Structure 1
């Protein structure tokens, strides 16, 4: 199984889990892939890794676009501004906007939202390909 198919299978498994009812978390999130040991270090190496992760995200997005239709990436700057102003942003969107600059987002036929992004905003952290599923629409 190629890496894109493996990650899509992980997203499908995540979608198959029952999401908690009212009062529960309301979402599930997973790290699909991590840079495993790369932190601040060499900026050139980090830049290549970030580029590779974005290419992988785009490949996954292409396949999920075939399933649910596509659209432009969803930028996170506005959500960060709203958070900074003290607005309450529901999870997983609040956390995702702090970790990734852009998300690919889809709503499945069952009403479940899927988001995929590259968490690369903090050079002190690992670069991660992340996915989340939720019944809460993006704000």
Structure 2
């Protein structure tokens, strides 16, 4: 993921979506949880978080240890139009992320579970971007 080319323009593919300087892979998407019973949704979100932890453990072996980052500040600043993509979209969907700072590749990476919108499916996301974390 960190070495793949970014799309030339905003676009969606079978792997996710992206644009110049960023790509977001949708690694797993729930089925049928839009507006689902809150208890069922919460249980499935926990499953996604456990899967995200396993993903982070595997990536940490390759990319080093990430730092945990709460995205509430990004959500608040996105409402004012101050945050660029992919962080604006990621921050409005994900509460907490594991973030890797760029090494020699100059690319940031972040993993998290998008479960903040109860009218949307739950998604396990991995972002790779040249855009610094705001």
Indicate the TM-score class for this superposition, using the shorter chain for normalisation. 0.7 to 0.9
Q: As a proportion of its length, which structure holds more strand?
A: 2
How many matched pairs? Answer: 123
Give the 5 Å matches for 1:114-129: 114-129=109-124
| Higher deviation after alignment, 118-127 or 75-84 | 75-84
Q: Over the residues paired in the alignment, what is the CA RMSD in angstroms? A: 1.7
- TM-score, normalization: structure 1? 0.80
2:2 match: 15
Given the alignment of the two structures, is residue 38 of structure 1 paired with residue 26 of structure 2, yes or no? Answer: no
- SS across alignment from 2:2: helix
Q: As a proportion of its length, which structure holds more helix?
A: 1
Q: Gapped runs of 5+ residues in structure 1?
A: 1-13
- SS across alignment from 1:97: helix
Given the alignment of the two structures, is residue 135 of structure 1 paired with residue 122 of structure 2, yes or no? Answer: no
Q: Gapped runs of 5+ residues in structure 2?
A: 9-18
- SS across alignment from 1:15: coil
